[in-house]
Every structure is written in structure tokens, then in C-alpha cells.
Amino acid sequence: MVKKAAFYTLGCKVNQVDTEEIKEDFLRRGYQEVGFNEVADVYVINTCTVTHVSDKKARAVIRRASRRNPLATIVVTGCLAQAAPQQIEAIPGVSLVVDNRSKNSIPQLIEGSISKADAANNETIQPVLYSHRHERTRAFIKIQDGCHSFCSYCIVPYTRGAVRSKKPEHVKDELGRLVELGYREIVLTGIHSGLYGYDLRDIDLAGLLKYLLQQVRGDYRLRLSSIEPLEVTPVLLELAASHDRICRHFHIPLQSGSNAVLKAMNRRYDRDYYGELILDISRRIPGVGLSADVMVGFPGERDADFQDTYDLLKQLPMLDLHVFKYSRRDGTPAALMPGQVAEEIKQQRSQVLLELAISKRAEAVQKQQGQVIEVLVEQQAGSHTYSGLSDNYITVKWESPEDLRGELVPVRISGQEQGVALGSLQP
């Protein structure tokens, strides 16, 4: 009988790609994928431990799988499994805890055809040549894993380890395969993408992009995931400005607009550097969509520090803000810092930035009036209404008799509704 496997992912895009890769491995071995709420023989839960909330969610998902089929093999992997393996092993129903390095050997570990020690020795990131299209309209390629920046609040360098980059020819093969499968937008993602090539030595992120654009032909566009401020190089900007195939979108984490807080976070730039970088990008790439991660409530963040963050973001041409409340992670330097901020203050500051984000988005979308932008058709939002994401990271809606989901289409922007651009399909 065909065995059934179900998958659940928590956390970042890289974790989502990791799950797709694990899934592909199961499918190749003859498993059938079923929904997570169905009865399966194997449940794979790919966890995150960036905040307390992610830890809590992971535990709830494990219990859900165990209730669904108490006889199933429940495999828990990802950053929480890496950071607290004993705690996870102790949860009733858990069969196997797999660290991040061994994630690519889960079916073999279940079968017992590879030992845990051998699986953990897998230092390289292997290419994944997908056999079929997954449900999403957008595809992802993990180009690197690991981080050695050790921001003082972040657990990731401890759970993901040193920087490992996928070889350029493997990224090229994966991209070629995804374009053949019909994906029109492919996101290059990583735990710290700007460090791509650090371990390969003769290539960096801009070099990889150049190589891919030369080698892989077809109707597709590339989107870069988050890039740290110090890694947005002039060569990278020049490439993005001169190639239509690179989405006009940069997600550049700010975290704080206070120099004192940035220093305590072990972030190696200051507010002026960040501000000038954002203005430089918007001058070089007309219509560019700029988004940022911002953290509130880092230990020692005073009202004046928060005000610095607010003032900086207010004056910059940001399209989107991803606002996070600092979450104390054992084992990081910030967990031991004095001046931990009360939850209600974090909540208030977060609310203020979320409101700022709404007005910044409306302002940025307003500037697109009259422009024709390229949109990846993603969803049917009504009987003849479709929506999708533009190359410059704007959600766009339009009426059309045709269902063009998965395709890139030109849309002229004529208005907006709460930060969502409204437009009409162009011939």
C-alpha cells in the first residue's frame, strides 16, 4: 500500500523551501502527499524558534499530528529541533528529532538506511531538481544556508551553523528546471543571502545573478529575498537597475533607527548609512519597492530610541514594514542584557509602526498611478477579479475574463484600496 506523508512548516521562507525539498524526496520514494489534517503514516514538522510564539505553535502542531494518528511516525526537524532536541523528544508521539544538517536525509533516517552521524556529516547544499510543479505560483531556490553575523538577539547562527553556498551551476540547473516547469517568478532565498559565495570564494551574490541571467533563457523574473544593508553593493544595484528580469524590490532589514540600539544589536551600520542607502536605491531604480524588518522592544530601547526608528522610517520611501517584537532567546547575548522592555510597551511601539506601515504603503502605491507594472497572477479574488504581486512588491487587483494564474501580465494602475493597487490588464 502507498504510504502517506503530511508536512507542516513554521517560520521563514528558507524553512518553507527546506520542506519542499524534503517533500520532493518523499515523493521520489513513492510516498503520497496528504493534507496535514488527514491521517498519514508520516508527519514531518519543520519548526522555527525565532520567537516564543513559534516554539508554542510547533508544540501544538506536534500534538495535533499525534492526535490525528497516534500510530504515525512523527518527525520533527528545523530550528527548534536543533536548539532543544531533548524537549522535543519528550513530547508524547514524537518518533524522530532531526537537526538542520540532517534534514535532507529524513526518509533514509526513517528507513534506517543511514545513521544519524552520517546524515549530520552532510555539509553541502545539494541541488533539487523538482519533478513537478508545486501548488504555489512562485518558486524558491535556497542559494545558501547559515550565518556568522551573530546579531545579539538572534538564535539563527546557533541553529543553522556556518555559511554554506549552493554551487552556481547547481543553482543554474535548479533555475532552468523551474523555468521548464512553467514558473515565471523564482525567488533566490537564503538565511543570509548577501553572504552567498563566502565559502566558495570566487563568486558573490552579484556574480551569481550575472551568471544566471547569462545562462538561463526564458520568460521568468528573479526576486531576491532579504539582503543586509552592508551587502547591497553598487555592482548588485547596477545589475538590478539594468536587467528587467530582476524584480525592482529590495527587502533590507533595518531593525532599529537608533545608533545605540544598533550597536547593542551588533549590527554594523548606523541610521545614516541605512537612510542614504535607501535613498540611493530609490534614485537609481525608479519605482523600486523597498521593504524592511524592524524590531521593537530590544533590551534598553528607550522612548527616544524608538522615536529615532519612527522618524527615520517616516522620512524614507518605504513600501512595506515587517514589524517584530523582540523575543528573548536563551543562549543569545541579548537575553542577558539589562533593560528588558515590558510586553505592553513592545505592543504599543509595534502598533505605532504598523500604523506607519499602512500610511507608507498607501503613499508608495499612490506614486504608481498611471504606471504599467508587471504582475505575477496569483489568485482569483472574485468571479472575474484576479490579484497578484508586481515586480516592485505591490499587490494589484484587476478585472479580467481570462484566468492567467501563474503568468506575468502588464497592468496599468489607476487607483488603490487600502494599499492594494487597482488596475486594468494591458494588451
Instruction: Indicate whether 252 belongs to the interface with ligand SF4 (CB under 6 A).
Output: no
| Binding string, residues 110-149; x marks residues near ligand SF4 by CB under 6 A | -------------------------------------x-x
User: What are the residues whose beta carbons fall under 8 Å from the beta carbon of 307, sequence distance 6 or more?
Assistant: none
Q: For residues 72-104, b (16+ Cβ closer than 10 Å) or e, as one string?
A: bbbbbbbbbbbbbeeebeeeebbebbbbbbbbb
Instruction: Indicate whether 150 belongs to the interface with ligand SF4 (CB under 6 A).
Output: yes
Instruction: Indicate whether 331 belongs to the interface with ligand SF4 (CB under 6 A).
Output: no
**Of the candidates 124, 143, 262, 257, the residue with the CA atom closest to the CA atom of residue 194:** 143
Angle, vertex CA 270, rays to CA 268 and CA 276, nearest 5? 120
Instruction: Indicate whether 188 belongs to the interface with ligand SF4 (CB under 6 A).
Output: no
Nearest CB to ligand SF4, comparing residues 192 and 349: 192
The C-alpha cell at 271 is 541610521
- Give 32's Cβ-side CA count (13 Å radius): 8
Instruction: Indicate whether 190 belongs to the interface with ligand SF4 (CB under 6 A).
Output: no
| 418, burial (CB in 10 Å: exposed 0-12, middle 13-18, buried 19+) | exposed
Nearest CB to ligand SF4, comparing residues 326 and 398: 326
Residue-by-residue DSSP string for 119-164: HHT--SPPP---SS--S-SEEEEEEEE------TT--HHHHH-S-E
Instruction: Indicate whether 157 belongs to the interface with ligand SF4 (CB under 6 A).
Output: yes
Instruction: Indicate whether 251 belongs to the interface with ligand SF4 (CB under 6 A).
Output: no
Nearest CB to ligand SF4, comparing residues 4 and 192: 192
Q: For residues 320-347, b (16+ Cβ closer than 10 Å) or e, as one string?
A: bbebbbbbebeebebeeeeebbeeeebe
Nearest CB to ligand SF4, comparing residues 106 and 151: 151
| 257, burial (CB in 10 Å: exposed 0-12, middle 13-18, buried 19+) | buried
Nearest CB to ligand SF4, comparing residues 28 and 268: 268
To ligand SF4, the closest distance from the beta carbon of 49 in angstroms equals 12
Please pick, from the candidates 156, 206, 288, 365, the single residue that binds ligand SF4 as defined by CB under 6 A.
156
To ligand SF4, the closest distance from the beta carbon of 426 in angstroms equals 39
To ligand SF4, the closest distance from the beta carbon of 364 in angstroms equals 25
Instruction: Indicate whether 166 belongs to the interface with ligand SF4 (CB under 6 A).
Output: no
To ligand SF4, the closest distance from the beta carbon of 155 in angstroms equals 8
| Binding string, residues 266-285; x marks residues near ligand SF4 by CB under 6 A | --------------------
To ligand SF4, the closest distance from the beta carbon of 99 in angstroms equals 17
Instruction: Indicate whether 192 belongs to the interface with ligand SF4 (CB under 6 A).
Output: yes
To ligand SF4, the closest distance from the beta carbon of 143 in angstroms equals 15
To ligand SF4, the closest distance from the beta carbon of 415 in angstroms equals 37
To ligand SF4, the closest distance from the beta carbon of 376 in angstroms equals 27
Nearest CB to ligand SF4, comparing residues 226 and 395: 226
**Of the candidates 55, 54, 72, 82, the residue with the CA atom closest to the CA atom of residue 160:** 82
Nearest CB to ligand SF4, comparing residues 55 and 228: 228
Strands (E), 194-345: 221-224, 249-251, 289-296, 320-325
Q: Which 3 state secondary structure label does DSSP give 116?
A: helix
Instruction: Indicate whether 227 belongs to the interface with ligand SF4 (CB under 6 A).
Output: no
Nearest CB to ligand SF4, comparing residues 156 and 224: 156
Residues 279 and 334: beta-carbon distance below 8 Å? no
Rounded-to-integer distance, Cα 417 and Cα 406, Å:
23
**Of the candidates 161, 55, 20, the residue with the CA atom closest to the CA atom of residue 101:** 161
Instruction: Indicate whether 351 belongs to the interface with ligand SF4 (CB under 6 A).
Output: no
Give the other-Cβ count within 10 Å of 319's Cβ.
24
Rounded-to-integer distance, Cα 264 and Cα 301, Å:
10
To ligand SF4, the closest distance from the beta carbon of 332 in angstroms equals 9
Rounded-to-integer distance, Cα 306 and Cα 350, Å:
10
**299 phi/psi in degrees, rounded to 5:** -50, 130
Rounded-to-integer distance, Cα 223 and Cα 421, Å:
20
| Count of residues that bind ligand SF4 according to CB under 6 A | 10
Instruction: Indicate whether 151 belongs to the interface with ligand SF4 (CB under 6 A).
Output: yes
Please pick, from the candidates 5, 76, 191, 212, the single residue that binds ligand SF4 as defined by CB under 6 A.
191
Please pick, from the candidates 154, 239, 277, 285, the single residue that binds ligand SF4 as defined by CB under 6 A.
154
Nearest CB to ligand SF4, comparing residues 157 and 423: 157
Which residues contact ligand SF4 (rule: CB under 6 A)? 147, 149-151, 154, 156-157, 191-192, 228
